[in-house]
Amino acid sequence: MKRIGVFTSGGDAPGMNAAIRAVVRTGTAHGLEVIGIRRGYAGMIEGDFVPLGPRDVANTLQRGGTILLTARSAEFKTPEGRAKAAENLRRAGLDGLVCIGGDGSYRGALKLLEEHHIPVVGAPGTIDNDLYGTDFTIGFDTAVNTALDAIDRIRDTAASHERVFFIEVMGRHAGFIALEVGIAGGAEVIVLPEDPLPASVCAEVISQSSAKGKRSSIVVVAEGGYEGGAEALARDVKACSGIEARVTVLGHIQRGGSPTAIDRVLASRLGAGCVDALLSGASGVAVGEVDGEIRLTPFREAVERRKDINRKKYELAKVLAL
């Protein structure tokens, strides 16, 4: 193996640049030439490739987003689009690929391997923390801390005005962010996709909190935890109980910003681990960290096996909300 490619795909996540940096510098240390593929699978189809050396990734460790950019590609979802991408990769002389992204990115990488026999490994870059085979994904810790900072500020206002606030965080199919910030932010109610909560139950908990002397409440809602999100839940709670609430949707603010130390170290380990995996002959695997150790998980298992929330944490959140 002499030349490898690296690309980011799907939603951006803080720490992606740290992973790119680790791939480039680890690859260089092993005598490999590293080529950056800009704009993910779209750039792969268009042949948007750029050589990357150690100096090209200097001062990127602390930057959010991705210096290689990312894009959705409808064309790559077609056999013809994937064939065009594979041909460009062969023309560039790439012996292997490192994919940094989420489940959709992994599925695309698996297609390249199965249809065109291109060696590829992946690093889990997504704030949702929903990929099996790793305790944490790149960007999750930063997203949690960003959301927590916002919740802390909103709690000040909630307490000052004696109000109920519904705060929506990202997590369409997984409630990892909501659970983590709900505990850290002292939420009275946490609404998760893994454990849907009827509006009537949410209203009852808020009413019980008020009866215990709480003059304000915070309800953290994963975007996929209630049909229609926090806005719909607040509306339904009012309809069944008369409880007035304010709603804040944090949105894409959770994806941006400088990565935390935890995300920088994790991304560095996983990026380096991807290069090591390719050099060892591995392919079609996701590189993760489990119990502090690097672990390889087949792509198909990483995207098809459900990663559940920590149920003990969820029960703890209910106790601490008393």
Active centre residues (catalytic): 128
What are 169's strand-pairing partners?
Answer: 222
Phi, psi dihedrals of residue 81, rounded to the nearest 5°: -65, -40
Where is the binding site for Mg(2+), in residues?
Answer: 103
- With a CB cutoff of 8 Å and minimum separation 6, the contacts of 309 are 174, 175, 176, 179, 192, 194
CB 32 within 8 A of CB 96: no
Angle (CA) 226 74 300, round 5°: 65
Which has the closest alpha carbon to 138: 152, 153, 149, 128? 128
Helix (H, G, I), strand (E, B) or coil at 212: coil
What are 245's strand-pairing partners?
Answer: 164
Q: What distance lies between CA 219 and its chain's CA centroid?
A: 22
CB 32 within 8 A of CB 2: yes
CB 136 within 8 A of CB 298: no
